[in-house]
Structure 1
Amino acid sequence: MSRLYDSIEPNVIDDEMLQKAVEEQGPQEEAGLLAKKEASISKMSWRYNILKIDNLWQFKNLTKLQLDNNIIEKIEALDTLVHLVWLDLSFNNIEVIEGLDALVKLQDLSLYNNRISKIENLDTLQELQVFSIGNNNIQTLENVIYLRQFQNLRTLNLTGNPVCENEVYSAFIAAYLPDLVYLDFRLVDDNSVRMKKFSPLSLIKLAEYNYEITKLSDVLMTEEMLLVDQKGLLKGIPVLCFLTFSPTMAQCRDLENQHHEKLLEISVNTLEKIVKSEFDEEMPDDVRMLFVDKDTIVNAVNASHDIHLLKIDNREDEIITKANGWASTLVENVHKTEIQRNRSRVLEINQYVDHLRSELDNMDILET
């Protein structure tokens, strides 16, 4: 929005600049004599990276002054230019409207592309017809109310300001500035002309109703998104299945480990008894063949343990695969249903909000 200082030295309007500006007006009978020319000059323009306005008191007959595309921060030193009709201060770094009280004949004022946040201090400019203050920081519609005092205002440019995002911006301006012909570089449209019959109070109420409708729409959409997020929790069902079965399978492994340790203990004790001929119980031949030495019996018990663990692992994989398949199918079906439900609900909300806005547009708003 604003222009930054560049490599060029910031300047103040001085005699040298004034002399050059005079020379640009045309040939002089006596070159270099500024006073001979100043009384007849009506137009002046500078683009010299000007930071400060000064020394213009000599040009009391100026009607047009162009100071755009500089780095001016403050409007000042214009009190003597009482005949000024046209003033261009666009593309500068101005933050406050001030220093214009004496310019009672001003008809065209451009403050486009500055840093202004409030329209003020223009009360004496009752001849104002064209006012450009686009690309600034005007936030509220109250600034438009201030402009109502200018009965001759026909052209207004506010484009690029935050206030333009207000839903009733155009209608509000049409109500408060009924004689406006051009708004933001466009001819005032038929809808705005229709809105001129409404009183300012009616427009304020209209703005309030529009705001409430927008707020209702936001609430409904937010609730719908929360519901969608809750349904999205179903995506975690496969994980929940895994977490559900994992403790059970872990217990199976613990039991198998306990069984393995106990079986190994019994097998070693049995081998010792067989070696000492203290084992009197009947034993099948294929089992007795394992009790040849300790390595053989330990290897046999460990092999049995490995087989049992493998079966537990396979069983766990089977259960989880089936559970995940079931859960994925469930989630997919719920997801499809949810998409259809969500689209239907969003459409329903939009249709309801459109209906409310349509009812509001067709409402008879009487003048007060």
Structure 2
Amino acid sequence: MSRLHDTTEPAVVSEDMLVFAVESQGPKGMAGRIAKEEGVNFSHVKSLRLDYRNILRIDNVWRFTNLTKLQLDNNIIAKIEGLDMLVNLVWLDLSFNNIEKIEGLDTLVKLEDLSLFNNRISLLENMETLTNLHIVSLGNNDFNDLNSLLYLRQFKKLKTVCISGNPMCMNEDYKLFTTAHLPNLDYIDYRAITTEMRTQANEKYRDIVEELIAEELSESRKQEEALIRRQQETLHKAAFVDLLDGSGLFDSMYESDPDGNRLQEIPEIKELVDSFREQFVEQCHQIFEFGIKEHNRRQEETDQFLECLEEAKTENRHLCVQQVKTFLTYKKTVFPIMLQTQDVDELDSLMEAYNEKLSKISSCLTGLELQLVDQLEETIKEFERNISDMITAYVEQVQAMFAQCRELENMHNEKLVEQCAAVLDKVIHNSPEVEALTEDLRLLFVDKDSMNNAISSSHENHIHEIDTKEDCMITGVNDWVAAFIGRVHEEEEVKRNRHRIMEINHFIDYQTEELDNLELEEAPVDQ
């Protein structure tokens, strides 16, 4: 469906093409000659026209980082690519090309006007990030199904859509369908939607649209619920309490316990396990609530700590800036005097005073940095003491609470042994009460050793799962503290300090160089 192009050799977007395009679209006359002499700075360009150039592939436009309008229409472009860095684009014209797929637009989140008119596109896709779209031109493509337009319902700011010239427009009701299903539109094919047309569309498609809205609301709720679940899962993992808000840990104890599951086929044992489950899940919930509470306490402690660090750094920066401003004010006063004086002795005196003040500012800035290092180190040590006390108390409480879990398991195991012994006795005496036992279950009651081995295996598996979760909580919090303190030391005590010292040295070296240059250029020569 795309128009025929001339037979000129296909081109890519080259450096020379870009320079020529920018210069030809820039200022004319004297201003243009000046701009040409100064050279092209692509990052300053706001608008760029690359139409009618037989371009086959988009390339080399990544340097136009501030571009807001890009015209690439009437070329032979087959694929949308190379636009990732143009994050400030508001207007993009790719009409009259050979594009078959919508892609490569993910980063263009500011895009408001997109023209894909007269291409070979048959599917609306890969536009989810373009939430600011106001105008979309899709005419003269290969869209066959009117329902494909439902994809555009997600763009709440969309006011104008052009779809004429597509196979689906053979349906005489395509404008009514579009009006009804895209209620935010004001224009279709660049013609205003009249009140009469909107009323007619709503009446014709009311039932279908209402059903669609209900489905969308249902899907939206599902997505919100899924998001909440993901957020909760993230929080639970951060607090090391996953599996504890509910029956997760209890279920994991029986997942790899076939003997324990088979035993529950016996009604009396099933009742015993149900009672155990209720008590165990309640204990897990208490651990969960404790874990969340402690996580929040740790978060508050770290937030206060980081705030203290930032306050100290901000205050230190303020003091340094004041010192630097004072020095630069002095420099601004003394340099003109140095340039004007013809007295060598006076110049020497001024230079000596300058160097002395430069030495003092260097010592002052270095001293302020050392003072900050000591202040940060003390703050970090205090935080380490506080968090260490918090973690110690946390670990002790976690161990005590999991000890209660093990106690519940031990008590359950004792009751299980008693109950199974009673079942074994009935099996040995061929009691009618055990006739309904399956063959697999009977294997557990061949003799006392078989029964005890099954119960022991089940018990050990349960204790292992409890111990593993306890270790996870304790190891997790200890690893978190070590990693957090490590990052703070690395960033605050090493990287920041190193950067600051380099910054001070650079400032002093620059001020010295300024004086040397002044002396070389302006100082009077002793005859």
Give the aligned partner of residue 352 of structure 1: none
Give the aligned partner of residue 34 of structure 2: 29
> Matched residue of 1:22: which SS?
helix
**2:181 counterpart letter in structure 1:** Y
User: Deviations 1:70-118 (Å, cap 9, x if unpaired)?
Assistant: 0000000000000000000010111111111111000000010111111
Question: 1:217-236 residue pairs with structure 2 within 5 A?
Answer: none
Quick one: structure 1 residues 93 and 43, their matched pair in 2 at CA, closer, same or farther if it must change by over 3 Å? Answer: same
- 1:28 is displaced (CA, Å) by 5.4
**Residue 42 of structure 2: which of 38, 43, 50 is its match?**
38
**1:52 counterpart letter in structure 2:** R
Give the aligned partner of residue 50 of structure 1: 55
Give the aligned partner of residue 86 of structure 2: 81
Counterpart contact for 1:79–1:100, Cα < 8 Å: yes
Counterpart contact for 1:171–1:203, Cα < 8 Å: no
Give the aligned partner of residue 189 of structure 1: 194
Counterpart contact for 1:19–1:32, Cα < 8 Å: no
Give the aligned partner of residue 11 of structure 1: 11
Q: How many residues align?
A: 205
Distance 1:197 1:99 in 2: 35
Question: 1:42-191 residue pairs with structure 2 within 5 A?
Answer: 42-46=46-50, 47-191=52-196
- The percentage of aligned residue pairs carrying the same residue is 50
Distance 1:166 1:204 in 2: 18
**1:158 counterpart letter in structure 2:** I
How large is the Cα RMSD of the aligned pairs? 2.3
**1:90 counterpart letter in structure 2:** S
> Matched residue of 1:98: which SS?
coil
**1:70 counterpart letter in structure 2:** N
Distance 2:35 2:135 in 1: 38
Counterpart contact for 2:181–2:209, Cα < 8 Å: no
Quick one: structure 1 residues 198 and 28, their matched pair in 2 at CA, closer, same or farther if it must change by over 3 Å? Answer: farther
Question: 1:217-296 residue pairs with structure 2 within 5 A?
Answer: none
Distance 1:60 1:199 in 2: 47
Structure with bigger RCO (C-alpha 8 Å, 6+ apart): 1
Quick one: structure 1 residues 153 and 204, their matched pair in 2 at CA, closer, same or farther if it must change by over 3 Å? Answer: closer
**2:112 counterpart letter in structure 1:** Q
Distance 2:33 2:45 in 1: 12
Distance 1:152 1:121 in 2: 17
Answer with 1 or 2: which has the greater Rg: 1
TM normalised by structure 2 equals 0.37
> Matched residue of 1:8: which SS?
coil
User: Deviations 1:343-362 (Å, cap 9, x if unpaired)?
Assistant: xxxxxxxxxxxxxxxxxxxx
Quick one: structure 1 residues 186 and 30, their matched pair in 2 at CA, closer, same or farther if it must change by over 3 Å? Answer: closer
Query: Which structure shows the higher helix fraction?
Result: 2
Quick one: structure 1 residues 148 and 142, their matched pair in 2 at CA, closer, same or farther if it must change by over 3 Å? Answer: same
Counterpart contact for 1:174–1:195, Cα < 8 Å: no
User: Deviations 1:175-196 (Å, cap 9, x if unpaired)?
Assistant: 2111111101211133431045
Query: Which residues of structure 1 form unaligned runs of 5+?
Result: 206-368
> Matched residue of 1:19: which SS?
helix
112-121 vs 2-11, which moves further: 2-11
Counterpart contact for 2:76–2:98, Cα < 8 Å: yes
Distance 1:33 1:100 in 2: 33
Query: Which residues of structure 2 form unaligned runs of 5+?
Result: 211-527
**1:126 counterpart letter in structure 2:** T
> Matched residue of 2:41: which SS?
helix
Counterpart contact for 1:22–1:37, Cα < 8 Å: no
**1:79 counterpart letter in structure 2:** D
Question: 1:344-355 residue pairs with structure 2 within 5 A?
Answer: none
User: Deviations 1:44-81 (Å, cap 9, x if unpaired)?
Assistant: 01121100000001110000000111000000000000
